[in-house]
Amino acid sequence: MKISGIITLMLLGVFGMSFLFPVNEERTPQSEDLKEIIRKAENRMEGESSIASMKITIVRPKYTRDMTLKAWTKGDDYSLMYIMTPSRDQGTTYLKRSKEIWYYLPSVERNIKMPPSMMSQSWMGTDMSNDDLVKRTSMANDFTHKLLGSETIDGHDCHKIQLIPKESADVIWGKIEIWVDKKLYNIMKQKSYDEDMELVNTMNASNVKMMGGEEIPTKMEIVPADKPNQKTVMTYLSIQFNVDIPDHYFTTQYMTKVKP
Amino acid sequence: MKGKFFILAWRNIWRKKIRSFLTMLLIGLFLTIVIFFLQMQKWTWMNQIDTSLSGYVGYIQITDTAFVKEKSMDNMFSLDKINLEELRSIEGVRGVYPRIQSGVLASVGIRSKSAGVLGINPSDDNDLMKLEQKLSEGELLDNDDDQILITNQMAKFYKVKVGDSLILFGSGYQGYTAAGNYRIKGIVRIPAGDMSNMVYMSMKEAQHIFAANGMVTAVLVNIEEGADLYKITDEVKSKITDKSLIARNWEEVMPELKSGMELDTVSNQMMTGILLLIVCFGIFGTIVMTYSERLFEFGILLSIGMSKRMIMLVTVAEIYFLMLLGVFLGCLIVTPILYSIHNNPIQLTGNAAETMIEYGIDPIMSVGLYPSEYINSSMIIIIITFIMSLYVIFKIRKLTPLDAMKKH
């Protein structure tokens, strides 16, 4: 009797409090929800498989260079890219097979495996390194998340989330900030910081369009923080999701005879 | 009467032939040792600088201004921007060498590793880099060659020999893919250091693979032995009118080499300092002797009316004569030694020689004939003697005939 009386009192108290401090209509996501949001965002661009053609523009202080390529992707581990233009580089093929990177060079008719010592080098002259493409860290599992607020990026209302790597995670970043679209779960912006919390690079996504049945950002630019007037812009020309790609596409034999 | 003290001083020296001769010999031997070591040190440094600079860095390096910060292929420049002939005609310039230097992935089968690529003009550079002496297999390149030279270290890693081929893959000018399959024409012996992982190719082929027609990463300007680096640097700078280019001398390009050289100089200065201390005591001993031995004589001279000034002049002149004769003797002894070693460098053998070859230095030991080292060492002696002679001047100033002639 006594105990239930106290409980009733407490319940009444809580009930009363909620009148005094009404809960906001738009609920802010809690830690568990954040993880879910990030998981959804991560899965956005990495469906089961895809075939895309894209244009990569490398902007340097002294010149701008365009290349177009076709890319086949299957899961996280496999992707194959074939350079269409410029003509001097046409036919250069790039294969990612889990942690390995292979190149096929038509001018020498040979496959070359990228040695570990060169993984930190620029990938095809862009502002991304080979490591960036191979290293798979899960934003959902390898980081602790914190909501920093809401911001509008390119006309989309986004959650701004801070990611701090967990002690055990094999992550090169000191922290990452991402902006995730509240409705479409697209990552609209990403800022990566090194261990000294210095900004390393910024990814800006824009031009959200219907493509391949999904509403995705079709333009992404990567801007290194320490190099002014320099960036890499990737534009999707077309993309098909969930296409059945045979496994033999992702072999060193096939890369010598890719037909785009 | 004014000039007489010279004669008196000169005669005084030969009153004690043996002691004077020993003092001269002391100064002379000191100078011989110091000059010899300084000349050897300077030669060693100059030789080391020459081997490490002339082939790869250059005494003066002309690059694009952006290349200073970022040694990337994108910061190459067109050779049209400078007049090579004009640079060659500068007095004291030994040669002007355009270069392409970059990094690629070199691969044979599944073996791949990053390697440097050096685009050279074999007609000039085979001599400059002493490639002929280093060649262990095959042949050297010529200017139109589409083959490559690799080092013995690379040959070992890839398990290749002359006639096999190597795939080079990297990025060229403005992000183009640089790729090619090259036949190995020769193997050069460079067993260690940065240069042991280097592919040599003709300038023409390097410009082709990197999609950089008419472009270079740097132009090296080498100067003649003993030429004034700073003066020539200024002259080269004045000849470069294009604002996008910059000329820097090696001290600006490789400050660490400069500081290493300075550190070495400090340790040598300490050794010179110790020798100096010995010589100081020697000279001082002679000076004290010349004074105390002749104290009675000075007393009589003073009594018969010779001025103190005159006595001072005679004594100091005597000391200076001795010192100058010593310096002269030193130079006389050291010069033929230096000269003969300079013209017939000592060939080193054994482990030391092996190590030197590995670092790309010729296994020889020699000395320089730099006038500056003569002047510096001699100046040290002159200054010491000057300071020491103050002792005599003060002593004579205080001298009274009575004290001087008092029997002790």
Residue B6 to residue B8: CA distance in whole angstroms: 5
Distances (CA, A) of A141 to A55, A137, A164, A174, A203: 31, 8, 11, 16, 21
Q: How far is it, in rounded angstroms, from Cα B64 to Cα B173?
A: 14
Q: How far apart (Å, rounded) are the C-alpha atoms in residues A200 and B165? A: 40
What's the rounded Cα separation, in Å, for the pair B197 and B153? 7
Q: Which residues contact B89 (CB under 8 A, 6 or more apart)?
A: none
Task: Say yes or no: B278 and B346 in one domain.
Answer: yes
Given a cut of 60, whether residue A15 has pLDDT beyond it is: no
Q: Note whether B177 and B248 are same-domain residues.
A: yes
Average pLDDT estimate for B279-306 = 85
Q: Based on the domain organization, do B103 and B39 belong to the same domain?
A: no
pLDDT at A18: 44
Q: List C-alpha distances in Å: B37 to B32, B163, B244, B376.
A: 9, 48, 44, 13
Q: Does A232 touch chain B (CB under 8 A)?
A: no
| B13 within 8 A of B20, measured Cβ to Cβ | yes
Cβ–Cβ < 8 Å for B128, B95: yes
Strand partners, A143: A165
B371-397 and B17-54 helices, crossing angle to 10° = 150
- Residue A214 in contact with partner chain B when CB distance is under 8 A: no
Instruction: From B197, B230, B252, give the residue that closes a domain.
Output: B252
What's the pLDDT band for A258 if we cut at 50, 70, 90? confident
From residue B63, alpha-carbon distances to A98, B71, B244 in Å are 41, 10, 9
| CA separation for the pair B402, B408 (Å, rounded) | 12
Q: Residue A221 pLDDT > 90, yes or no?
A: yes
Clarify whether residues B63 and B200 are in a common domain.
yes
- Cβ–Cβ gap A112/B113 under 8 Å: no
Query: B110 and A108 in contact by Cβ < 8 A?
Result: no
Query: Which structure tokens are listed for B218?
Result: 């740097």
Beta bridge partners of B46: none
In this structure, are B361 and B320 located in the same domain? yes
Contact A103 B175 (CB under 8 A): no
Q: Which of B252, B287, B309 is the last residue of a domain?
A: B252
Question: What pLDDT band is residue A198 in, cutting at 50, 70 and 90?
Answer: very high
Determine the pLDDT at residue A25: 42
Averaged pLDDT for residues B97-115: 88
Query: For residue B128, what is the DSSP state?
Result: H
> Cα–Cα distance between A123 and A95 in angstroms, integer?
12
**Cβ contact, residue pair B176, A89, below 8 Å:** yes
Task: Report the residue from A89, A112, A122 with minimal CB separation from B167.
Answer: A112
Is the ipTM value over 0.90, yes or no? Answer: no
Given this model, what pLDDT does residue A6 score? Answer: 56
- Virtual CA dihedral for B44, B46, B47, B49, nearest 10 degrees? 120
Per-residue pLDDT tens over the stretch A147-197: 888 888 888 899 999 999 888 877 888 899 999 988 888 889 999 999 899
Indicate whether B246 and B265 sit together in one domain: no
Interface of A with B in 106-125 (CB under 8 A): 107-110, 112-115, 117-118, 122, 124-125
* Euclidean distance between CA atoms A3 and A9, whole angstroms: 10
Considering the domain architecture, whether residues B187 and B283 belong to the same structural domain is answered as no
CA–CA distance from B327 to each of A149, B275, B314, B317 (Å)? Answer: 84, 15, 20, 15
B237-245: average pLDDT: 87
User: Distance between CA A67 and CA A72 in Å, rounded?
Assistant: 16
Q: What is the DSSP letter of B129?
A: T
In 3D space, the residue among B98, B121, B89, B33 whose CA is nearest the CA of residue B381 turns out to be: B33
B164 shares its domain with B292:
no
The answer to whether the beta carbons of residues B197 and B115 sit under 8 Å apart is yes
**Identity at B88, one-letter amino acid code:** R
Confidence category of residue A98, pLDDT binned at 50, 70, 90: confident
The Cα B398–Cα B402 span in angstroms is 12
User: Which are the contacts of A121, defined by CB distance < 8 A and separation ≥ 6?
Assistant: A129, A130
**Looking at B132-176, which runs of residues are DSSP E strands?**
135-138, 148-151, 165-171
Does A84 touch chain B if contact means CB atoms closer than 8 Å?
no
Contact assessment for residue A250 and residue A74, using Cβ atoms and an 8 Å cutoff = yes
What pLDDT is recorded for position A23? Answer: 45
Q: What is the mean pLDDT of residues A121-142?
A: 79
Whether pLDDT at B2 is above 70: no
Poorest-pLDDT segment among A14-28, A55-69, A118-132: A14-28
Same domain, B28 and B82: no
Q: Among A12-16, B116-120, B270-274, which is the least confidently predicted range?
A: A12-16
DSSP B70-83: ---GGG-EEGGGS-
Phi-psi region of B119 (alpha: psi -120 to 50; beta: other; left: phi over 0): beta
Nearest CB to B177; choose among A62, A92, A122: A92
Q: Do B175 and A58 touch (CB under 8 A)?
A: yes
What value does the CA radius of gyration of chain A take, rounded to a whole number of Å? Answer: 23
Please determine, for residue A29, whether its predicted confidence score (pLDDT) is greater than 60. Answer: yes
Rounded Cα distance between B341 and B367, Å, is 6
Residue of B nearest to A114 (CA): B112
Assess whether pLDDT exceeds 60 at residue A135.
Answer: yes
Q: Indicate if the pLDDT at residue A229 is higher than 50.
A: yes
Nearest to B118 by CA among B193, B41, B198: B198
Q: What is the pLDDT, as a whole number, of residue A1? A: 43
Q: Using alpha carbons, select from A208, A260, A218 the residue that is nearest to residue A239.
A: A218
Q: How far is B175 from chain A (nearest CA, A)?
A: 5
Closest Cα in chain B, distance from residue A104 (Å):
10
- Mutate: best of B73, B76, B114, B169, partner A, most A CBs <10 A: B169
Nearest to B23 by CA among B361, B319, B394: B319
Alpha-carbon separation of residue B73 from A62, A238, B348 (angstroms): 12, 33, 40
Considering B227, B252, B277, which residue would you say is the last residue of a domain? B252
Q: What is the pLDDT of residue B202?
A: 93
Fill in the DSSP letter of residue B367: -
Contact A180, A158 (CB under 8 A): yes
d(Cα B91, Cα A132) in Å, to the nearest integer? 52
**Non-local CB neighbours of A12 within 8 Å, separated by 6+ positions:** none
Domain count, chain B: 2
Mean pLDDT of the B152-171 span? 90
Question: B139 vs chain A: nearest CA distance in angstroms?
Answer: 24
Write out pLDDT tens, residues B301-343: 888 988 888 888 888 888 888 889 999 999 999 999 999 998 8
- Please determine, for residue A24, whether its predicted confidence score (pLDDT) is greater than 50: no
**What's the mean pLDDT in A115-127?**
81
Percent of the residues in chain B that have a pLDDT greater than 90, as a whole number: 18
Kindly tell me the number of DSSP H helices and DSSP E strands found in chain A. Answer: 3, 13
Residue of chain B minimizing CA distance to A91: B177
Poorest-confidence range of A102-111, B46-55, B229-238, B278-287?
B46-55
User: How many degrees, rounded to 5, is the angle at CA A12 between CA A11 and CA A14?
Assistant: 65
Kind and range of the H or E run holding B351: helix B350-358
B319 and B357 co-located in one domain = yes
pLDDT score for B270: 85
Which positions in chain A touch B180 (Cβ < 8 Å)?
107-108
The answer to whether B140 and B132 have CB atoms below 8 angstroms apart is yes
**Whether B43 and B88 share a structural domain:** no
Q: Is the pLDDT of residue B57 over 50?
A: yes
- Touching check for A87 and chain B: CB below 8 Å? no
Q: What is the pLDDT of residues B356-389, one digit of tens each?
A: 766 667 778 888 888 888 898 888 888 988 888 8
Same domain as B47, residue B62: no
d(CA B126, CA B189): 14
* Minimum distance, in Å, between the CA of residue B98 and any CA atom of chain A: 22
Please identify which residue in the block is written with the tokens 């100078």: B31
What is the CA B386 to chain-centroid distance, rounded? Answer: 31
Q: Which fold has domain A31-251?
A: outer membrane lipoprotein receptor (LolB), chain A (2.50.20)
What is the residue range of B120's domain? 58-252
Whole-Å CA distances, A85 to A93, B73, B180 = 12, 21, 19
